[in-house]
Amino acid sequence: MALVLYRYLEKQLSEAITNSQIITQLREMNFYHVPAEGYVPTYTRTDFTDALHQSFGFNTDYEIVSTKNRQKIFKQTKLSKKVRKKQGP
């Protein structure tokens, strides 16, 4: 599963981002969970995170992500994936 997700990210993100950058940056993208509030990003914004946010249409680098909003992001990501599949390569 991890390899499939990795390959998907590799195709979605700019070719300017190397394979090692993808792995390193994902490992560094941590969040602090605040009960009853949501998730606070604890990572530093980079070209990778900007490309990730632009490719998938959400931002997590400058605000608390509520549990409800996190679920909305997951749902939107799944819907946009289905639309891309229907449109083809």
User: pLDDT tens digit string along 32-67?
Assistant: 888 888 888 888 888 888 888 888 877 777 777 787
Q: Is the pLDDT of residue 83 over 70?
A: no
* Domain total of the chain: 1
Residue 19 tokens read as 């394979």
Domain carrying residue 29: 2-87
* 3, 10, 88 from 31: Cα distances, Å: 23, 22, 34
Q: Model pTM?
A: 0.61
Q: Which of 57, 76, 46 is nearest to 12 (CA)?
A: 57
Give the pLDDT band (50/70/90) at residue 81: low
Question: Which pLDDT score is estimated for 86?
Answer: 59
Q: Which of 39, 37, 35, 36 is nearest to 62 (CA)?
A: 39
Q: Is the pLDDT of residue 19 over 60?
A: yes
